[in-house]
């Protein structure tokens, strides 16, 4: 099992990673952040993406999609990908992994795979 610091370092090892956060979507607070981009405030990103996760969960509730779960949410920007992965393991509910990627350097399929692996090993 992996702790948060190791999970953040593993996520930053993903090709094209600009920054990563583990956040609580009930409070909007980042539990941990790691990144090397001076233009990306990961605490602000974590808080803002909390609203994205909450909005999607509300929409799923209104659509009666109770049997479905969010695997990940992708936001494609001109030069970046932002990947949000709600955590589903017992004890991790209410949290999500957030990863910002440089679109020119990232392999989105590999990033999604690595995020799933990181989630599988993460203990909060």
Structural domains of the chain sorted by starting position, each given as residue range(s) with its CATH number in brackets: 4-121 (3.30.450.30)
Backbone angles phi and psi of 70, in degrees to 5 = -80, 120
> What is the predicted pLDDT for the residue at 68?
93
* For residue 91, pLDDT beyond 80: no
Mean pLDDT of the chain: 93
Q: Quote the pTM value.
A: 0.93
Give the mean model confidence (pLDDT) for residues 93-121: 95
Q: Residue 1's pLDDT band (boundaries 50, 70, 90)?
A: low
Angle between helices 4-12 and 108-121 (to 10 degrees): 170
Give the mean model confidence (pLDDT) for residues 79-85: 97
Q: In this prediction, what percent of the chain has a pLDDT beyond 90?
A: 83
* For residue 2, pLDDT beyond 70: no
* For residue 50, pLDDT beyond 90: yes
Buried b (16+ CB within 10 A) or exposed e, 84-121: bbbbeeeebeebbbbbbbeeeebeeeebbebbeebbee
């Amino acid at each position: 099992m992996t702790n948060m610091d190791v999970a953040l370092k593993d996520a930053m090892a993903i090709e094209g990673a600009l920054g990563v956060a583990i956040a609580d979507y009930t409070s909007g607070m980042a539990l941990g952040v790691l990144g090397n981009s001076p233009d990306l405030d990961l605490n602000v990103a974590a808080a803002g993406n909390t609203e994205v996760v909450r909005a999607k969960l509300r929409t799923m509730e209104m659509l009666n999609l109770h049997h479905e779960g969010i695997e990940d949410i992708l936001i494609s920007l001109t030069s970046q990908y932002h990947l949000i992965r709600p955590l589903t393991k017992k004890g991790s509910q209410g949290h999500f992994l957030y990863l910002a990627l440089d679109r020119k350097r990232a392999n989105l399929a590999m990033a999604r795979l690595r995020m799933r692996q990181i989630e599988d090993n993460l203990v909060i």
